[in-house]
Chains A and B, each alone.
Chain A
Amino acid sequence: MTTSTQTIEQLAGKEYQYGFVTDIEQETVPPGLSEEVIRLISAKKQEPEFMLEWRLKAYRHWLSMTTPEWANVHYPPIDYQNIVYYAAPKSKADGPKSLDEVDPELLRTYEKLGIPLQERAALAGVAVDAVFDSVSVATTFKDKLGAMGIIFCSFSEAVREHPELVRKYLGSVVPTGDNFYAALNSAVFTDGSFVYVPKGVRCPMELSTYFRINAKNSGQFERTLIIAEAGSYVSYLEGCTAPMRDENQLHAAVVELIAHDDATIKYSTVQNWYPGDKEGKGGIYNFVTKRGRCEGRNSKISWTQVETGSAITWKYPGCILKGDNSVGEFYSVALTNNYQQADTGTKMIHIGKNTKSTIVSKGISAGHGQNTYRGAVKILSGADGARNYSQCDSLLIGEDCGAHTFPYIDVQNPTARMEHEASTSKIGEDQIFYCNQRGIATEDAVSMIVNGFCKEVFRELPMEFAVEAQKLLEVSLEGSVG
């Protein structure tokens, strides 16, 4: 046990690889939130009147709300008046038109992150809508997508260029008053991604964005909206790393997905924000609202997430299965090490007939990490033949961590079939012993077992993400294995 404890400590001692701060001149508004700040954000982004009204409505609602306290996470109260709600990298003239015009400092940041924009775009065939803090700075492959009628742009651009689509769908899945953080996001969001896939079009490449929190003290409020028209298909990738910093940062994003008849949306996330140091100091607060609506018949929404970062993760990507025969999926790996806390899971609301949902959640706790699965499966009375299968497994590594499971199951239809299974266990000493016997070092053995434990989820990730996710898990677990 001594040797393995040592290995754990070595591994746990691994510092966050991606911690650095880019020095770019930032254009910011003073910290604090008021109607003036919202008007200022809206004006700076040259938004139409309806957006401002929408933001103000959300803000007024937010004022009447209180911080939710039901999640199994603990953190000091957040001072919302001490957050900078708008930070944009200072642009030369009216912003870069091509990659050459992008601030070289910024490009170097991406290089350090291991995502050389041009190369990655060219080699992997991925269009990257890189979001640096709040304003989208570079978009690639736009023309290629444009020729197929696919709109993939930053949210602010969508507000300017496609106000009718934004107006129709914004807030239709996550209304402004949905919850405390969604209301806050609706009031102050600065940018995000917008995807529209027209009828019958299969998006030829994985769309991806990289979110990155940079300016000190600037909470990032992203807004993503993806609309898949009848018969279309789109796969969207979201990946995150953030620089090292001592102060906690708030990230409250909202993602809305709408799938019409026979459409499929696949949304994959790899989240690796700064988790705080070994003593639990610092790190990102990740309070996210993600929800998809299977509007049409035979539509499908699939969420896949690998959550290894953030001091606190608080998100429940859900599916409203409204259309008959629609399918919702949720595959998740959540890892908490050191003093990280995660309260994550999903919501599957079965409304239409023969709707199906699958939930596979894998939680890994190490160090002093606290990992909670919280999920809801609701089968309403009209959902004849609905089917749900949930599996939530937790793996405990070390003596001081915790794993919790809180599924909420409401079934109102006798023809529905609902199954929920959960297990919590530690890595067996016999498993490790067997590997040791075969000449596999303890650390490699644990890595192998953990990867096997998560295989079902990694299988769902697009290839390039799956590789990254596996690597990420190894790095995040280093020092906690025994």
Chain B
Amino acid sequence: MPRESATPAAIEKSAFVPDFEPFIAARPGEAAAVLASRRTAMERFVQLGVPHRRLENWRHTDLSPLTKNRFTLAAEPTAIDPVQLVPYSLSGARELVFVDGFFSAELSNPGKAQPGLLLGSYAECLPEDALRWAVAPETAEALEALNGAYWQDGAFVDLAADARVEAPIHLLFIATGADLPLAQFVRNRITAGPGSRATIIETYASLGAGVHFTCPVGTVDVGANADLDHYRLGQENAAAFHLATSRVRLGRDARFKSLAFVAGGGLVRHDLLAELAGPSSEATLHGLYLAGGTRHIDHHLWVRHSAPHAASRQIYKGILAGRARAVFNGNVFVASEAAKTDAKQTNRNLLLSDAALVHSNPQLEIYAGDVRCTHGSTVGQLDEEALFYLRSRGLDEAQAKNLLTRAFASDLFEDIRPAALRDRLETLLYTWLSFEAGIAGTAP
């Protein structure tokens, strides 16, 4: 990820720096080494500052609304009624629940112990891991550094070699979204050992409508021959800031499939960095983002091919209504040693309103001679003739639009497993179309 230096002015405006010392002072129980790593991360953040629009990677995403708020961290876990989780929890899944950054053992249901599976709170499982985090502090991005300074908790998932976990693992991050603007710094670590297999789902949701800030940083390590499905659902409220960074690394013959489904959040940014480090590895990165109102959704994908014979597939689709803005920035980097790379990148955007705006920026950077790389990007509206055809068959305008819009997104739903998750996502899309985009149709 290319990087530029920040202007000092950008740092002064944010309260993240002055709040750091009191935060440290309030953690007397923490190991000295962890505290030291927090300080190193803070130094890095001070060096970089809050990203601003003069930086190439932040050209279209303005974080100044974020710095105008003064976020605090919840002092203790907020008690919530388990009933409130019903719409979000997934039946049949092993579930970990986090509320405002705190792990809640009472609300969680990690399921029966299975040999080869370690599932629990990040802070409890491996606190010393903070010292050898996936990214060295000197190469961390600003938000990763901020997370490195303030991280509270997150999920720790470790699959031993050849472990097969049948039930999906659901990580549910709940923001209470009350009046006081709270921040939650989530840190997740997923390690899939050689030959293991699992499905992991991360859900980010808010209960109230208040402003909050979610800053998750996650690493996913997919070992040789491992097979990992990873889903990420954004269902936070329209006032929420959600700035996430994920780093994924694939070993030899590893397979990684992800779907980022964003149907919520006010200002959403997700940086996904995937390195195909092992030969013949395969990454499939899918995304569907729905935005209405004045919401802003930004996806930055960095796919790095550093081993031969690897394949990557990106399909990101956006449906925009109201005055929403979407940014798609997909970069495929093929290093000179990554011969026989096969990379494909697609971004399609559907505009449902006059004032919606799309910035699409698919990039190929190829330093190897023997590769096949393609990318495509389209922006458009629904096909007039298809609409006319449906209307001539008796559907009203909204129904016809609803149907065609769902058809536009349908290929991303095809291989979602488990089926319960697919149904939930289809319902979310349908609900969003009916209520936020204003085109009610016949339920799926």
Contacts and interface: CB of A to CB of B under 8 A. Distances in A.
Interface of A: 70, 379, 381, 394, 396-426
Contacts of B377: 407, 409, 418-420
A472 B442 CA distance: 61
Contact of B369 (A70, A399, A415): A399
29 contacts: A379-B379, A396-B370, A396-B371, A400-B369, A401-B369, A402-B366, A404-B364, A404-B365, A405-B363, A407-B361, A407-B362, A407-B377, A408-B361, A409-B358, A409-B359, A409-B361, A409-B379, A410-B357, A411-B358, A414-B352, A414-B356, A418-B379, A419-B376, A420-B377, A422-B364, A422-B375, A424-B366, A424-B371, A425-B372
A417 B379 contact: yes
B91 interface: no
Most buried by B among A412, A414, A416, A417: A414
B381 interface: yes
A396 B366 contact: yes
B368 A420 contact: no
B355 interface: yes
Contacts of B353: 414
Given A381-B354, A425-B371, A425-B372, A403 B336 contact: no
A414 B379 CA distance: 8
B380 A418 contact: yes
A381 to B, nearest CB: 7
Most buried by A among B356, B365, B366, B375: B366
B431 interface: no
Interface residues of B, number: 34
Contacts of A409: 358-361, 377, 379
A399 B362 CA distance: 24
Interface string B367-397: 1111111111111110000000000000000
A257 to B, nearest CB: 27
Contacts of A394: 364, 366
B379 to A, nearest CB: 4
A425 B373 CA distance: 7
A421 B377 CA distance: 7
Contact of A411 (B336, B349, B363, B376): B349
B56 A70 contact: yes
A410 B360 CA distance: 6
Given A411-B379, A418-B378, A399 B356 contact: no
A381 B355 contact: yes
Nearest to A397: B369
A416 B320 CA distance: 14
Nearest to B326: A411
B351 interface: yes
Given A396-B369, A411-B379, A421 B374 contact: yes
Contacts of A422: 362, 364, 374-376
A415 B374 contact: no
B23 to A, nearest CB: 37
Contacts of B380: 416-418
Given A403-B364, A422-B376, 5 more contacts: A402-B365, A402-B367, A411-B357, A420-B377, A424-B371
B351 A410 contact: no
Nearest to A372: B365
Contacts of B352: 414
